[in-house]
Structure 1
Amino acid sequence: MVTSKRVYNWYISLVAASCMVLYGYDASVFNAVQGSKHWVAYFNHPNSQTIGAINTAYTVGAVVAGFFLGGPLADFGGRRMGMTVGAALVIIATFMQTFSPRGNVGCFIGGRVLIGIGQGLALTAGPIYIGELAPSEIRGMIMSFWQMFYSVGSFIAYWVNYACSKHTKTLGEWDWKMVVIFQLLMPVLIIAQVYFIPETPRWYIQHGNRIEDARKSLYKVRDTDQEVEDEILAIREAIEFEKEAISSGYSALWKDKSVRKRMYLALIINAGQQITGQGTLNSYSTIIYKKVFKDASQIALINALNATFGIIFTLNATWTVDRFGRKFLLITGAVGMAICMLIVATVETQTPSPSGAKTVPVGISIVFLMFLFAFFYKPSWGATVWIFTSEIFSMNVRAQAVGMCSQTQNVANSIVQQFFPTFLDNCGFYAFYMFAGINGLLAAFVWWFLPETKKVCLEEIDTLFGGTNHVEKGAEIVGAEDPHHARLESIHISEDGKAVTERRDTQKA
């Protein structure tokens, strides 16, 4: 049965997931504008190295924010503060890019750096917020919308670009500026809503032991008193254990053996997400399709359709991730992507190119294979990597660890983006054989090293990685008789006729 509180839980989660629209839009917008002759002329025909630098500029900002700023801001200012500051920086950066002086590519790059910082902050806070408020039994389903909203961002960017590409004579230079400035839409909506949603109970208890604030937050998204009290007890137990037995600060990242193990695994799969080939397709699909098609408007339409199907493909994660598990999706996705990359490289390199372009049947085959690649990628290495990363860390290090691991995507992506244009120019579609091999290795890595995390309580997930059960050990510290269930003492009727629940604290006097 769907209750009003469950619906509200979805609403606040989707507000947080909107941060991913920022990422999806920006990851696609520069790819889109590269097809504009006005953009190319405006910045004096940048070469492939400059194109790579513009892409890398974003990742530099995102990496700095993710590794050094996102975690502390989300921890000390709150998850909502991280999302707000990130969205505000995206707004400033959008104006910088749109109104860069003619020929001043440095200003455009500066905007890319700032937008990277903003997204590094927002992308650290957003998944933590969702993970900490979503019920464990549907946490994977809700988090799958995180990746779907990336596709929503791409959808908006590519369809705006396609519309502008059909009116280039009328719009002039605004055929690319319109695409860039449209990025204002989502950060404005995020800022307008974020302070009308509750902060996470884990943050309240971790900062000043504000149990009543945590209780109010949980009452908005949990259906019964017992659920609220059980979750508050589990949070208190875990936090007390982490403070006393490990560390209340970030030193647990290297002091706790099980946390170190999780860091290694999360760093590898987040880097792996971007070297599957998807990061390259997001940034350079326009350049790639130019080797197959000659009409810029046709390429813009293909990108827009790809983004549209990306939303549909990601929806597959909503019903598969909690049913079949994270591990199954990652392995299946990697194998499927490897096969797609192998076939697309073979088709392109082993067919003739009359008049400098592929024949229509060959072109259609390549586009179909790229769409099939997205079908395998979106629910697996697209959505599931984020889900796994956001749920495996204990509270004392969660914000910093998620920020560092998620931004490993940009570290890997910046390396690939910098050399791929040159690689593509020199080797053509033979480059895709490399991605086929990488995806095969990723499937083997997941099979051997990743545990299954579906439907496991956040406070007890440490046991999957050789760690201690923080809830059970914390129960001894706070004096709880039952580590998993808080006791509700009685319910009586007050003088005004209202039912009042009296709670007994599970901590011993």
Structure 2
Amino acid sequence: MASKPSNRSLYLAAIVACLTAALFGYSVGFVGGVLVLPSFLHHFHLDALLPHDLAAAQARVVTVWLVGALFGVPLGVPISSGWGRRRCLTFSALLYVSGAALQLVDRGGHLSVFNIGRLLNGLGVGAGTLVSPMYISEISPPSDRGMLMSGYQTALQLSALVGFWGAYASHATFPSSSPLQWQLPVAIQLLPGVFLLLGTFLIPETPRFYAERGQFDDAEGSLAWLRALPRGDLELERELDEIREAAEAGELLQSEKPSFFSEARKRGVRKRLGVGIGLMIAQNMVGLNALNYLHSQTTDAPVIFMSAGFTSVSSSLFLTGLFGVVKLISAIAFMFVFVRIRGNRFWLKLGSGVCGISMLVLAYYVRLMPPPDQTHEAMLTFGGVVSVAMVYIFALFFGLSLGPISWNVCSEIFPLHINAKCCAITTCTQWLFQIVIASITPRLLASVGWATYLVYALCCALSLLWTHLAVPETCGVPLGRPMDALFDAPTDSAATIETADGGGDQDGDDVEDETTALLRSRARAERRRSSVVAYT
């Protein structure tokens, strides 16, 4: 008789993996506030710089972290592929903790040492953004995968909110003469990093990684721990059979030792890479960073709220903090409620559409607002209230769509034997476009002003159209053969089977696509049975 699986171990492993998102979110949330603290400026001798030089120094602190995150992704690929997902999580935590500690080292107030620490921080975050979604995806049953993957976005938004208010509270609590004013927010980075480091010693490697290496006994032990089931349990064996067959399919595909480039040329893999890269581009291009930029482009208050008529520093900071709260609420709502109501395509299209409308309305009313140098004269108006509402509506629907779903889809769609390298490509795309958007948004705002929001509205429309045409529904689809079938055209599978019988076209795309299709034709009865019982 099959035992009833428990989720307690699964949730523990997912929580530990989601701590990489806490590294990401806190690093983003606290740095803007710390960079303008009087104690920080004095300690690093930035208060003596001219405004232009000060802005350049602050920009370097932010940029070096983004560059580190970008290069941390490929740095994590060989570790994730060769040593395992869990060890890559450990590697990410070690880099992050080392970077945080280095930022606290006093070397006569030299910002270069602080920036080296930020670089190590970024490398750890980049490696974490690669491996954490992969780990969660590989340990999750199909019925819980969307919810557990959405925990990544929830942890990111929660930690970003803690970072923002932590820097604000530090400024309000400590005098400007105290180094604790900037050191405490920096030191808090150590907490999620140390928790992640210790947590990786409590959780197992993923069963799919073990199976890929032929270590099926270890895979069974890992799966038994995650499902809280005894070895030999019927439900456990059924899921293990699916994992074994997916691993054998990958082994057959690798039997001729093809290069990754030749694998990436296959029709099914090309389609998956197109979906993953497109989602990561869309996540950055719809305009969230434009709103984030408006909240931080001055050192005294968020410009968009002050221009809307909320001219006091306290009110504008409160509204900025509320912006973070809305993003957190949307992430939690998607994780526990909306992910179970409709599929990914529905939320991607709805989110893109609502975000586009929000940008159009925002463009209209921002056009009527006073310029930034006249915000002290701004009066609270209907248009100002509507603008603020559009910011929150955008944040809400972004958090229900592109925010979490881009990470979710990219973590689950690629074949196991090339999963790490494909995820590296999509994750690098995400970081690269963060850098691009951070660079072009200030220039757009300076050159075309309110029309910047029309540009992002167009990007939202393109995201909606592209989702409708190119993104299949992956919600609830088991990993392995069912996911392969989702991305492979029927003609590809037919050609593969025909070739196995001795006929058919032998050129490139027809035979290379899915050896899994051949396995599917051999074991159709088992596939139907296992697809039904795999916790769906």
Query: Using the alignment, how far apart are the partners of 2:176 and 2:518 within structure 1?
Result: 68
The residue that corresponds to 2:416 in the other structure is 395
CA 1:63–1:149: 2 relative to 1, 3 Å: same
Residue of structure 1 in register with 2:322 after alignment: 305
Letter in 2 for 1:25: Y
TM-align CA RMSD: 2.8
Q: Are 2:222 and 1:220 aligned?
A: no
Equivalent of 2:484 in 433, 450, 462: 462
Whichever residue aligns with residue 380 of structure 2, its letter is V
Map Cα deviations across residues 23-68 of structure 1 (whole Å, 9 max, x no partner). Answer: 11112222333443444554335454544443332222222221x2
Q: 1:184 to 1:427 in 2, by over 3 A?
A: farther
Q: In structure 2, what is the equivalent of residue 358 of structure 1?
A: 378
1:60 matched residue in structure 2:
67
C-alpha distance in 2 between matches for 1:432 and 1:168: 38
Letter in 1 for 2:136: I
Cα deviation, 1:323-382, whole Å, max 9, x if unaligned, reads 311111111111111111222222222134656453234554433322211101112111
Confirm or deny: 8 A CA contact 1:204 1:210 kept in the other structure.
Answer: yes
Distance in 2 of aligned mates of 1:148 and 1:394: 26
Equivalent residues in 2 for 1:27-426 (5 A)? 27-40=28-41, 42=44, 43=46, 44=49, 45=51, 46-66=53-73, 68-99=74-105, 101=107, 104-167=110-173, 169=175, 172-207=178-213, 209-222=214-227, 225-245=233-253, 250-251=260-261, 253-282=263-292, 285-287=295-297, 289-290=302-303, 292-293=305-306, 295-318=312-335, 319-352=337-370, 356-361=376-381, 363-426=384-447
Q: Structure 1 residues 470, 164: closer, same or farther in 2, change over 3 A? A: farther
1:178/1:301 CA distance change after superposition, 3 Å: farther
User: What amino acid maps onto 1:254 in structure 2?
Assistant: A
Give the C-alpha shift of residue 302 in structure 1.
3.0
Q: Which amino acid aligns with 2:266?
A: D
Cα distance in 1, alignment partners of residues 327 and 355 from structure 2: 14
Secondary structure of 1:20's partner? helix
SS at 1:417 equivalent: helix
**C-alpha distance in structure 2 between counterparts of 1:301 and 1:111, whole Å:** 30
Alignment partners' CA distance in 2, 1:223 and 1:188: 26
Instruction: Measure the CA separation in 2 of the matches of 1:280 and 1:104.
Output: 31
**What is the rounded CA distance, in whole Å, between the counterparts of 1:343 and 1:48 in structure 2?**
31
Instruction: Give the SS at the match of 2:369.
Output: coil
Residue 291 of structure 1: how far off its partner (Å) = 5.4
Whether 1:445 aligns to 2:466 is yes
2-side partners of 1:418 and 1:101: how far apart?
A: 31
Distance 1:413 1:273, change over 3 A: same
Distance 1:472 1:236, change over 3 A: farther
Q: 1:173 to 1:426 in 2, by over 3 A?
A: farther
Secondary structure in 1 matching 2:392: helix
- Distance of 1:350 and 1:128 partners within structure 2: 46
| Alignment partners' CA distance in 2, 1:36 and 1:307 | 20
Matched residue, 1:489: none
Q: Does 1:473 align with 2:478?
A: no
Gaps in structure 1 of 5+ consecutive residues: 487-509
Pair 1:462–1:200, CA change in 2 (3 A) = same
Q: 1:96 to 1:428 in 2, by over 3 A?
A: farther
- Which segment drifts farther, 162-171 or 188-197? 162-171
In structure 2, what is the Cα distance between the partners aligned to 1:291 and 1:100?
Answer: 37
- Supply the distance in 2 between the matched residues of 1:168 and 1:443 (Cα, whole angstroms): 47
Aligned structure 1 segments of 4 or more residues deviating by more than 6 angstroms:
none
Query: Match of 1:196, SS?
Result: coil
Higher normalized contact order (CA 8 Å, seq sep 6+, divided by chain length): 1
Stretch of structure 1 that moved more, 305-314 or 350-359: 350-359
CA contact (8 A) 1:198 1:217 kept: yes
Q: 2:388 & 2:21 partners in 1: Cα distance? A: 25
Instruction: Give the letter aligned to residue 178 of structure 1.
Output: L
* Cα deviation, residue 175, structure 1: 2.9
Q: Given that residues 76 and 130 in structure 2 are in contact (C-alpha distance below 8 angstroms), is that contact kept between their aligned partners in structure 1? A: yes
Which deviates more from structure 2 when the two are superposed, residues 9-18 or residues 94-103? 94-103
Q: Aligned in 2, Cα 1:414/1:399: closer, same or farther, shift over 3 Å?
A: same
8 Å Cα contact 2:359/2:454 also seen in 1? yes
Q: Aligned partner of 1:61: which letter?
A: G
Contact 2:67–2:119, Cα closer than 8 Å, also in 1: yes
Q: Is 1:482 equivalent to 2:531 in the alignment?
A: no
For 1:97 and 1:161, how far apart are their aligned partners in 2?
Answer: 16
Change in 2 beyond 3 A, CA 1:428/1:112: farther
> Distance between the aligned counterparts of 1:356 and 1:101, measured in 2?
40
How far apart are residue 407 of structure 1 and its match? 2.3
TM-score, normalising length: structure 1: 0.86
Please state how far the C-alpha of 1:449 moved relative to its aligned partner: 0.8
Identity %, equivalent residues? 25
For structure 2, the residue ranges without an aligned partner over 5 or more in a row are 494-513, 531-536
Distance 1:357 1:198, change over 3 A: farther
Relative to structure 2, which stretch is displaced further, 44-53 or 28-37?
44-53
Contact 1:254 1:260 in 2 (8 A): yes
- Cα displacement string for residues 59-82 of structure 1 (whole angstroms, at most 9, x for unaligned residues): 22222221x222221111111111
Aligned residue for 1:502?
none
Aligned-partner Cα distance in 2 for 1:463–1:202: 19
Shift in Å, 1:199: 1.0
Q: Which moved more, 1:413-422 or 1:96-105?
A: 96-105
The answer as to whether partners of 1:237 and 1:470 remain within 8 angstroms in 2 is no
Report the Cα distance in structure 2 between the residues aligned to 1:111 and 1:284, rounded to whole angstroms. Answer: 27
Whichever residue aligns with residue 198 of structure 2, its letter is: A
Mapped partners of 1:10, 1:84: distance in 2: 18
- 2:68–2:126 Cα contact (<8 Å) kept: yes
Q: Do 1:286 and 1:299's aligned partners in 2 also have CA atoms closer than 8 Å?
A: no
Q: Match of 2:11?
A: 10
For 1:482, what is the secondary structure of its paired residue?
helix
